[in-house]
């Protein structure tokens, strides 16, 4: 290379680079796969829906479209026709659309956002018939939660590109998301997920918990209702909640799933697990008794004096009395009958200190430290439900051995998965985890818990006259995060109930977090909440009551599953339907529907089975 | 015969580069044939004969060929003596499109002037005139270029005036090409680097943005500088161009079989003729096209390297750069890699002024290939030595 041509070579190299860029661009266009061609419609991915156990819709993809234009492709000579067709399909004045079409700020522009699928199809057809180019419809990747904040934490929400971020939306992302490879005719569908919750029960229990939250000025209320025989979660209440349709607008603190992620010290409710564990381990039996003189006292081998105060001076206590009075001293002494290692191992078998595996997107394992890390106070303290962190879902699940004679069931929130054609992909079955208690101990604890609803018991406010309930209440002091010591104003009031006691079908667990109202005690505020929940469940599912029939609401008829009300040619039996499910009737133009009162339908005219003529009046009286 | 004094000895006149001439004729022939293939549908649609556009182009080829011969026959020293008057005349011509009655406004730009059906784009002629002038003046001032005020500034101001007038014609793309050519000439003439540092701090950002990105923001910048530079239909044409290129694929649809060209690319005969070529001949045809141009440029650069003196060397290289740059930018536009600009593809696009300009440039390159240094008489033609 001659030196005097060095600068020439620089120019030649630059031209060569430019040529390489041109060839590369050309090659990637000319030799690319035909599917990349401009104008090829991308696959529309329709995410699967989420339903409750009865098929009531909790989450569904929107059928909405964004209408945009690509100015260079518009047929400017027929610009008026565009605006007329748009006005026909979308409403409004043609001049509005014309103005937008004529603006020249950029080649790409939006004409309308989130128009209905019907309007989009009407307009799309009209444009195609007249061969008008340049407009396109993009399906809005959007998710609608028709029940709004109902079970918001369990259902969850999606982020951009419809990807699940929380709750079932995240836990079943793989099932719900549509696989573009499986597209047929430009559409790909995800599978649909049925949750174990009953939206109707969920609604009623959320309402109930909401009332309790405001009545007791509580920071939060959690409640889990579980089928004791299958481990299925029937209601999953975490208040405060949020509307997943607008989750970004909600305070982040409301996103916290207090059922599965919030871990706390349960307090005295934990004594039922302590007593079951100690008895199964052979430390005590039904007749073993201890003397409570107002405190748990022990001197360790090293001479350390341990003193834990009791709520009262309970005298001689056995298993039943310990639970009835919630006696700290008795529970502590009972724990002394077994070794720390055995006690720890048994509590682990209940599921404490590990995730319950309830098909959730996120779950806290709580905290149960290994005995090597325990102090001399730890064993009796844990026996009373402090120094151990649990979640509400763990508490409800740990109660399943008490209900069925000793077998822990895995809590479940997934009922089944079906594909877009409705064919089953997965049917969830009960999952026995392990035997935790022997049958005798389970029965003994259950019976002892029934004693706590006696007038002398801490759970008396949970009592329902015609329904046998096994109950344990608790009031736990909370650790003040600033001082790292137990606070004297922050408490968690909680109650666990199994019913009917003779053969428990349901488990209800509720915790009121930081109540600031008239009382902070589980026995005073959480017990009535659980009682009301049990009443609702018993009514809804027709649990046999001791003194049937129930007469809480006049003329209430219990239906196993409640769909939205609909009236055809003949009058259906609407009695027992809640007001919420009557709203579709109000949109009827052909008949007049009069609704009086609040609550549930008690009387209806015409009577069931009578014909309903157009123009006639239907009268519903609610109580 | 002493090689050491070859730079100063009277020029040995010889036959020009036959291979270069052959390649140029081949390119012009392919261009005309393809223009016919690409235009007959449009011509028929306009109610003219199928070969209307091809014939019109062929008619332009006659004066172009005459110009080529005159340039190639007359010694380059004669053209050098005319460099000053030629560049002044071509700058004067640039003003004609602004004269009422003479100027023609097309697509918002006043690039043309003419009478009746005959129109002429003076900025096309300015391209080879600019190269001739800069080759002359930079060779003349070869020893004084370190003095930027006296050496570089006067020619810079003169051609700057020309480029400014082109910008006023709303012809942004031609202005870019002119600036690029001028920069290349200053560069190979060994103008000190400080000059390029100063020039690039002003001009290069704009140029680099234009060439290297197709971001809409850039389009807005350009749209701001030259509001009618991107009339509403240009992006649409780029889309059409890309569709046509995709349709061509590897083997093409066959000569005359292209169907997308007419429907979606109104400017197919000029700025987007490459897309039609790509659609009809595919990747193979594009490869042939590229190799043909690479060969032409290689022979031109060879002529420049073997030229008898700096003036002739600059002249051949500048003309080659003009042809190469314009070809590449045209292709980059067609594949959508740079924003749409109105730039003809040398020897392929329809348009008389552009053809004339390209043929004049080619004529000068060929002339340089005739006036080589004695020691540069290349293998295969050693009989002349």
Task: Please report the pLDDT score of residue B219 as a whole number.
Answer: 54
Residue A420 pLDDT > 60 = yes
| Closest C-alpha among B226, B178, B183, B184 to residue B339 | B226
Task: Please report the pLDDT score of residue A217 as a whole number.
Answer: 93
Residue appearing with tokens 């060969």: B295
DSSP B344: P
Residue A231 pLDDT > 90 = yes
Q: Is residue A37 part of a domain?
A: no
Residue spans per domain, chain B? 26-73+237-378, 87-213
Phi, psi of A573 (to 5 degrees): -85, 105
Task: Please report the pLDDT score of residue B256 as a whole number.
Answer: 65
B 195-224 near A (Cβ less than 8 A): 211, 216
A489's enclosing H/E stretch is strand A486-499
Show Cβ contacts of residue A603 under 8 Å, excluding neighbours closer than 6 positions.
Answer: A555, A575, A620, A621
Stretch A383-397: mean pLDDT? 94
pLDDT: is B127 or A583 the higher one?
B127
pLDDT: is A438 or B343 the higher one?
A438
Residue appearing with tokens 């006691």: A501
Task: Please report the pLDDT score of residue A612 as a whole number.
Answer: 76
* Tokens coding A525: 């505020």
CB contact under 8 A, A15 and B331: no
B78's enclosing H/E stretch is helix B76-95
Best probe of the B interface among A11, A23, A73, A101, by most B CBs < 10 A, is A11
Stretch A444-455: mean pLDDT? 87
* Integer Cα distance of B86 and A459 in angstroms: 110
The answer to whether residue B259 neighbours chain A at the CB level (below 8 Å) is no
* Integer Cα distance of B181 and B21 in angstroms: 23
Asked whether residue A246 falls in the same domain as residue A349, the answer is: yes
B207's enclosing H/E stretch is helix B204-212
Asked whether residue A430 falls in the same domain as residue A537, the answer is: yes
| Closest C-alpha among A220, A223, A224 to residue A251 | A220
State how far the alpha carbon of B107 is from the alpha carbons of A167, B24, B169, B175, B285, in Å: 58, 31, 11, 17, 31
* Integer Cα distance of B233 and B238 in angstroms: 9
| Closest C-alpha among A513, A517, A509, A558 to residue A534 | A509
- Which CATH number covers residue A108? 3.90.1310.10
A513's enclosing H/E stretch is strand A506-513
Asked whether residue A88 falls in the same domain as residue A161, the answer is: yes
Task: Please report the pLDDT score of residue B106 as a whole number.
Answer: 62
The answer to whether residue B331 neighbours chain A at the CB level (below 8 Å) is yes
- How high does pLDDT run on average in chain A? 85
CB contact under 8 A, B246 and A34: yes
Length of chain A: 623
Rg (CA), chain A: 32
- Is residue A435 within 8 Å of A214, Cβ to Cβ? no
Asked whether residue A227 falls in the same domain as residue A153, the answer is: no
Buried b (16+ CB within 10 A) or exposed e, A475-502: bbbbbeeeeeeeeeebbbbbbbbbbbbe
Residue A559 pLDDT > 50 = no
* Integer Cα distance of A112 and A568 in angstroms: 38
* Integer Cα distance of A426 and A175 in angstroms: 11
Residue A173, min C-alpha distance to chain B (Å):
35
Residue A81 pLDDT > 60 = yes
CB contact under 8 A, B239 and A72: yes
CB contact under 8 A, A15 and B321: yes
Length of chain B: 385
DSSP string, A175-188: HHS--GGG-BTTEE
CB contact under 8 A, B332 and A19: no
Residue A51 pLDDT > 70 = yes
Q: Is residue A571 part of a domain?
A: no
pLDDT: is A324 or A4 the higher one?
A324
Task: Please report the pLDDT score of residue B209 as a whole number.
Answer: 60
Residue A183, min C-alpha distance to chain B (Å):
25
Stretch A605-617: mean pLDDT? 75
- Is residue A46 within 8 Å of A185, Cβ to Cβ? no
Q: Is B32 exposed, middle or buried (0-12, 13-18, 19+ CB in 10 A)?
A: buried
Task: Please report the pLDDT score of residue A15 as a whole number.
Answer: 93
Asked whether residue A206 falls in the same domain as residue A111, the answer is: no
Strands in A357-469 per DSSP E: 407-409, 414-418, 424-427, 432-435
Which range is least confidently modeled, A96-100, A273-277, A326-330, A434-438?
A: A96-100
Asked whether residue A452 falls in the same domain as residue A592, the answer is: no
CA B358 to chain CA centroid, Å, is: 6
CB contact under 8 A, A26 and B331: yes
Q: In what order do the strands lie in the sheet containing A64-70?
A: A108-116, A64-70, A135-139
Partner residue facing B236 (CB), from A30, A37, A72: A72
* Secondary structure class of A158 (helix, strand, coil): strand
How many CA atoms does the CB half-sphere of B159 hold within 13 Å? Answer: 29
pLDDT: is A505 or B377 the higher one?
A505
Partner residue facing A11 (CB), from B187, B242, B336: B187
The answer to whether residue B335 neighbours chain A at the CB level (below 8 Å) is yes
Show Cβ contacts of residue A80 under 8 Å, excluding neighbours closer than 6 positions.
Answer: A94, A98
Task: Please report the pLDDT score of residue B58 as a whole number.
Answer: 87
- Dihedral-angle region of residue A189 (phi above 0 means left; psi in -120 to 50 means alpha; beta otherwise): beta
* Integer Cα distance of A168 and A6 in angstroms: 67
**By CA distance, what is A75's nearest residue in B?**
B233
Q: Is residue A558 part of a domain?
A: no
Task: Please report the pLDDT score of residue B231 as a whole number.
Answer: 41
pLDDT: is B277 or A208 the higher one?
A208
State how far the alpha carbon of B143 is from the alpha carbons of A494, B133, B187, B299, in Å: 98, 17, 15, 28
DSSP string, B298-314: HHHHHHHHTBSSHHHHH
Task: Please report the pLDDT score of residue A550 as a whole number.
Answer: 35
CB contact under 8 A, B297 and A106: no
Whether the upstream peptide bond of residue A606 has omega within 30° of 0, thus cis, is: yes
The answer to whether residue B243 neighbours chain A at the CB level (below 8 Å) is yes
Best probe of the B interface among A13, A15, A32, by most B CBs < 10 A, is A15
DSSP A611: B
pLDDT: is A431 or B218 the higher one?
A431
* Integer Cα distance of B164 and B76 in angstroms: 29
Q: Which domain holds residue A3?
A: 1-32
Task: Look up the pTM and report it.
Answer: 0.54
Q: Count how many domains chain A has.
A: 4
DSSP string, A114-151: EEEHHHHHHHHHHHHHTT--SEEEEE---EE-TTTTTT
Asked whether residue A365 falls in the same domain as residue A404, the answer is: yes
Highest mean pLDDT among A174-188, A242-256, A494-508: A494-508
Residue appearing with tokens 């060569």: A16
A470 forms beta bridges with A498
Task: Please report the pLDDT score of residue A563 as a whole number.
Answer: 54
Residue numbers in A near B187 (CB within 8 A): 7, 10-11
| pLDDT tens, position by position, A235-277 | 999 999 999 988 888 888 899 999 999 999 999 999 999 999 9
Residue numbers in B near A32 (CB within 8 A): 246
- Is residue A408 within 8 Å of A436, Cβ to Cβ? yes
Task: Please report the pLDDT score of residue B1 as a whole number.
Answer: 37
- Is residue B144 within 8 Å of B151, Cβ to Cβ? yes
State how far the alpha carbon of A332 is from the alpha carbons of A283, A307, A437, B28, B205, in Å: 12, 10, 19, 104, 81
Asked whether residue A246 falls in the same domain as residue A387, the answer is: yes
DSSP string, A304-356: -EEEEE-SS--EEEEHHHHHHHT-HHHHHHHHTTS-HHHHHHHHHHTTTTS--
Residue numbers in B near A3 (CB within 8 A): none
Partner residue facing B286 (CB), from A12, A18, A26: A26
Residue numbers in B near A25 (CB within 8 A): 332, 335-337
CB contact under 8 A, A72 and B305: no
Residue A188, min C-alpha distance to chain B (Å):
27
**By CA distance, what is B189's nearest residue in A?**
A7
Stretch A47-54: mean pLDDT? 91
* Integer Cα distance of A244 and A253 in angstroms: 14
DSSP A461: G
* Secondary structure class of B222 (helix, strand, coil): helix
Which range is least confidently modeled, A327-331, A524-528, A608-612?
A: A608-612
Residue A407 pLDDT > 80 = yes
* Integer Cα distance of A86 and A100 in angstroms: 12
pLDDT: is A449 or A117 the higher one?
A449
Asked whether residue A359 falls in the same domain as residue A333, the answer is: yes
Count CB-CB contacts under 10 A for residue A542.
13
Q: What is the pLDDT along chain B (385 residues), one digit of tens a residue?
A: 334 334 444 455 567 888 999 999 999 999 888 888 877 766 666 667 777 878 888 888 888 999 999 998 889 999 999 999 999 999 999 988 887 777 776 655 667 776 666 677 888 999 999 999 999 999 998 888 888 778 888 899 999 999 989 887 777 788 889 999 999 999 999 888 888 888 778 776 766 665 555 444 455 445 444 433 444 445 556 666 777 777 777 777 776 666 554 444 556 667 778 888 888 888 888 899 999 999 999 999 999 999 889 999 999 999 999 999 999 988 888 887 776 666 788 888 888 888 999 999 999 999 999 888 876 655 444 333 3
Q: Is residue A532 part of a domain?
A: yes
Residue numbers in B near A37 (CB within 8 A): 243, 246
How many CA atoms does the CB half-sphere of A309 hold within 13 Å? Answer: 2
* Secondary structure class of A38 (helix, strand, coil): coil
């Amino acid at each position: 290379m001659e030196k005097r041509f060095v600068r020439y070579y620089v120019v030649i190299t630059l031209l060569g680079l430019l040529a390489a860029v041109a060839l590369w661009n050309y090659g990637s266009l000319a030799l690319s796969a035909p599917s990349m061609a401009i104008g090829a419609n991308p696959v529309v991915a329709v995410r699967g829906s989420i339903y409750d156990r009865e098929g009531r819709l909790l989450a569904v993809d929107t059928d909405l479209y964004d209408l945009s234009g690509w100015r260079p492709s518009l047929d400017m000579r027929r610009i008026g026709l565009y605006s007329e067709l748009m006005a026909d399909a979308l409403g409004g004045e043609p001049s509005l659309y014309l103005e937008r079409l004529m603006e020249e700020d950029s080649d790409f522009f939006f004409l309308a956002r989130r128009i209905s699928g019907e309007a989009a199809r009407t307009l799309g057809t009209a444009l195609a018939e007249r061969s008008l180019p340049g407009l396109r419809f993009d399906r809005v990747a959007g998710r609608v939660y028709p029940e709004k904040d109902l079970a918001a934490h369990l259902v969850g929400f999606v982020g951009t590109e419809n990807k699940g971020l929380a709750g079932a939306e995240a836990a079943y992302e793989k099932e719900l998301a549509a696989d573009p490879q499986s597209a047929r005719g430009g559409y790909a569908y995800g599978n649909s997920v049925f949750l174990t919750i009953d939206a109707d029960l969920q609604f009623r229990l959320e309402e109930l918990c909401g009332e309790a939250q405001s009545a007791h000025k509580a920071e939060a209320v959690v409640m889990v209702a579980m089928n004791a025989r299958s481990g299925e979660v029937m209601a999953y209440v975490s208040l405060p909640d949020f509307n997943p349709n607008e989750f970004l607008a909600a305070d982040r603190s409301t996103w916290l799933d207090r059922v599965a992620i919030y871990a706390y010290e349960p307090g005295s409710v934990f004594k039922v697990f302590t007593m079951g564990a100690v008895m199964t381990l052979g430390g005590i039996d039904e007749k073993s008794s201890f003397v409570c003189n107002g405190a748990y006292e022990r001197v360790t081998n090293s001479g350390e004096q341990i003193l834990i105060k009791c709520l009262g001076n309970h005298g001689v206590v056995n298993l039943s009395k310990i639970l009835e009075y919630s006696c700290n001293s008795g529970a502590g002494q009972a724990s002394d009958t077994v070794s720390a290692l055995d006690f720890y191992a048994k509590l682990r078998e209940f599921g404490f200190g590990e995730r319950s595996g309830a098909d959730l997107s996120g779950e806290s394992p709580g905290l149960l430290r290994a005995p090597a890390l325990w102090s001399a106070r730890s064993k009796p303290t844990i026996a009373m439900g402090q120094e151990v962190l649990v979640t509400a879902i763990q508490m409800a699940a740990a109660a399943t051995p008490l209900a069925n004679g000793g077998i822990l069931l895995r809590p479940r929130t997934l009922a089944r998965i079906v594909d877009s054609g409705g064919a089953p992909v997965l049917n969830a079955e009960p999952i026995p985890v392990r035997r935790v208690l022997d049958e005798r101990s389970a029965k003994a604890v259950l019976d002892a818990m029934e004693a706590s609803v006696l007038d002398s018991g801490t759970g008396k406010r949970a009592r329902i006259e015609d329904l046998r309930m096994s109950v344990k209440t608790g009031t736990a002091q909370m650790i003040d995060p600033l001082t790292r010591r137990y606070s004297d104003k922050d408490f968690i009031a909680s109650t666990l109930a199994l019913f009917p006691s003779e053969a428990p079908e349901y488990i209800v667990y509720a915790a009121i977090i930081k109540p600031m109202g008239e009382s902070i005690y589980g026995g005073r505020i959480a017990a009535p909440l659980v009682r009301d929940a049990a009443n609702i469940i018993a009514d809804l599912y027709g649990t046999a009551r001791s003194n049937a029939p129930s007469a809480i609401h006049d003329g209430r008829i219990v239906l196993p599953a409640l769909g939205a009300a609909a009236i055809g040619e003949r009058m259906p039996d609407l009695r027992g339907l809640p007001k919420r499910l009557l709203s579709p009737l109000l949109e009827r133009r052909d008949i007049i529907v009069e609704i009086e009162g609040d609550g549930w339908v008690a009387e209806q005219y015409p009577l069931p089975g009578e014909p309903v003529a157009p123009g006639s009046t239907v009268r519903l009286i609610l109580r | 015969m002493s090689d050491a004094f070859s730079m100063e000895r009277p020029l040995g006149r010889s036959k020009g580069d036959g291979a270069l001439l052959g390649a140029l004729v081949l390119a012009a022939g392919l261009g005309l044939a393809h223009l016919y293939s690409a235009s007959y549908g449009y011509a028929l649609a306009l109610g003219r004969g199928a070969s209307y556009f091809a014939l019109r182009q062929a008619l332009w080829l006659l004066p172009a060929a005459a110009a080529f011969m005159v340039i190639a026959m007359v010694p380059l020293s004669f053209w050098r003596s005319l460099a000053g008057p030629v560049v002044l005349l071509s700058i004067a011509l640039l003003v004609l499109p602004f004269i009422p009655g003479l100027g023609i406004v097309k697509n918002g730009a006043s690039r043309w002037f003419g009478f009746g059906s005959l129109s002429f784009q003076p900025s096309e002629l300015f391209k080879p005139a600019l190269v001739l002038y800069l080759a002359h003046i930079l060779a003349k001032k070869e020893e004084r270029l370190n003095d930027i005020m006296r050496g570089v500034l006067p020619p810079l101001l003169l051609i700057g005036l020309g480029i400014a007038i082109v910008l006023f014609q709303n012809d942004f793309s031609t202005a870019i090409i002119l600036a690029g050519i001028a920069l290349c000439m200053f560069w190979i003439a060994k103008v000190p680097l400080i000059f390029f540092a100063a020039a690039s701090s002003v001009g290069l950002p704009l140029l680099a943005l234009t060439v290297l990105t197709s971001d809409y923001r850039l389009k807005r910048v350009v749209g701001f500088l030259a509001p009618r530079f991107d009339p509403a239909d240009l992006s649409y044409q780029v889309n059409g161009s890309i569709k046509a290129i995709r349709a061509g694929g590897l083997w093409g649809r066959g000569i005359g079989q292209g169907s997308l060209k007419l429907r979606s690319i109104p400017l197919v005969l000029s700025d987007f003729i490459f897309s039609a070529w790509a659609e009809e001949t595919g990747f193979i045809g594009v490869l042939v096209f590229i190799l043909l141009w690479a060969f032409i440029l290689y022979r031109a650069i060879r002529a420049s390297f073997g030229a008898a003196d700096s003036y002739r060397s600059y002249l051949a290289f500048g003309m080659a750069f003009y042809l190469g740059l314009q070809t590449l930018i045209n292709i980059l536009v067609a594949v959508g890699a740079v924003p749409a600009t109105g730039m003809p593809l040398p020897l392929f696009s329809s348009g008389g002024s552009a053809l004339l300009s390209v043929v004049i440039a080619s004529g000068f390159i060929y002339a340089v290939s005739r006036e080589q240094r004695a020691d540069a008489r290349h293998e295969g033609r050693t009989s002349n030595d």
